[in-house]
Amino acid sequence: MKILHKGYLTGPIIGALWALVMSVTLGVAISFATGAAAKPALIGSLILGLATGFARVRIANRWAADAVAVIVALALMAVGLGALQFDDSFNFVWRVALSVVLAGAVSIPLNSILRELRFGALTRHQFEDAVIRFLTGFGYIFFTAIVVIPFYVMVMTSMKSQQQLMLNPLDFSIDLSRGWHLFDSYYELMTQFHFGRYLWTSFYVSVLTVLLTLLFSVPGAYAVARLRFRGQKVFSRGILLIYMVPMIVLALPIYIAYSMVGLRNSILGIVMIYPVTTIPVALYMLQGYFRGLPVEVEEAGLMDGLSRLKVIWKITLPLALPAMASVGLYVFMIAWNEFLLAFMLLDDPSKFTLTRGIASLNSSEIPRQHLMAGAVIATVPIMALFLGLERFMTRGLTAGAVKG
Partner 1 sequence: MTDISPPKGRGALARREARLAWGLLFPTIAIVALVVIVPLLAIFWISFKPVTLGDLRPAEIRTRVALRDRGDQALLELRVINPSREQEMRNAALNVTLPEGVALTGDLPQGCAMDGQDLSCDFGTLEAGANERFRVDAQVTGDTREAERAMRDAEVKATGHVSNVLTNSTFTLDNFRQLFSGSEFWSVLGITLFYTVFGTLGALVVGLFAALLLNKSFRGQGILRGLYLFPYVAPVIAVAFTWITLFDPYSGSANALLVQMGVSEGAINFFGAKPLALIMVTVFEIWRYFPLSFLFILARMQSIDTDMYEAADMDGASPFQKFWYLSMPQLLGILSVLFLLRFIWTFNKFDDIFLLTGGNAGTRVLTVNVYEQAFAVSNIGAGAAVAVVIFACLLVFSGLFFRTMSREEGL
- Kindly tell me which residue out of 259, 299, 300, 348 binds partner 1, with binding defined by CB under 8 A: 259
Query: By C-beta, is 203 or 386 nearer to partner 1?
Result: 386
Give the whole-angstrom CA distance, residue 334 versus residue 338. 6
> 194 in the Ramachandran plot: left (φ > 0), alpha (ψ -120 to 50) or beta?
left
CA distance 283 to 215: 11
> What whole-number distance in Å separates Cα of residue 393 and Cα of residue 60?
46
Residues in the chain: 404
Nearest to 209 by CA among 26, 368, 333, 59: 333
Site for partner 1 in 86-115 (CB under 8 A): none
Comparing CB distances to partner 1, the nearer of 125 and 305 is 125
First to last CA, the chain: 40
Write out the binding residues for partner 1, residues 327-346 only, by CB under 8 A.
333, 336-337, 339-340
- DSSP of 70-84: HHHHHHHHHTT--SE
Instruction: Mark out the alpha helices in 263-320 (DSSP H runs).
Output: 267-292, 295-303, 308-311, 317-319
Q: Is 181 in the site for partner 1 (CB under 8 A)?
A: no
Considering the rule CB under 8 A, would residue 283 count as an interface residue with partner 1?
Answer: yes
The residue (of 268 and 402) whose beta carbon lies closer to partner 1 is 402
What's the CA gap between 294 and 316, in Å, rounded? 10
Can you tell me which of 88, 163, 230, 364 binds partner 1, judged by CB under 8 A? 230
Spatial CB neighbours of 24, under 8 Å, sequence gap ≥ 6: 40
Does residue 267 touch partner 1 according to CB under 8 A? no
Residue of 88, 163, 176, 253 interacting with partner 1 (CB under 8 A): 253
Q: Which of 181, 237, 310, 314 binds partner 1 (CB under 8 A)?
A: 237
Q: Which residues pair with 85 in a beta bridge?
A: 39
Selected from 241, 295, 297, 300, the binder of partner 1 by CB under 8 A is: 241
Give the residue, chosen from 260, 261, 303, 321, that forms a contact with partner 1 under the rule CB under 8 A.
260
Q: Which of 47, 73, 210, 254 binds partner 1 (CB under 8 A)?
A: 254
Q: Which C-beta is closer to partner 1: that of 54 or that of 352?
A: 352
Is residue 170 involved in binding partner 1 (CB under 8 A)? yes
Distance, CA of 263 to CA of 273 (rounded, Å): 11
Give residues 346-385 in contact with partner 1 (rule: CB under 8 A): 354-355, 358-359, 362, 368, 371-372, 374-376, 378-379, 382-383
Of residues 300 through 319, those in contact with partner 1 by CB under 8 A are 308-309
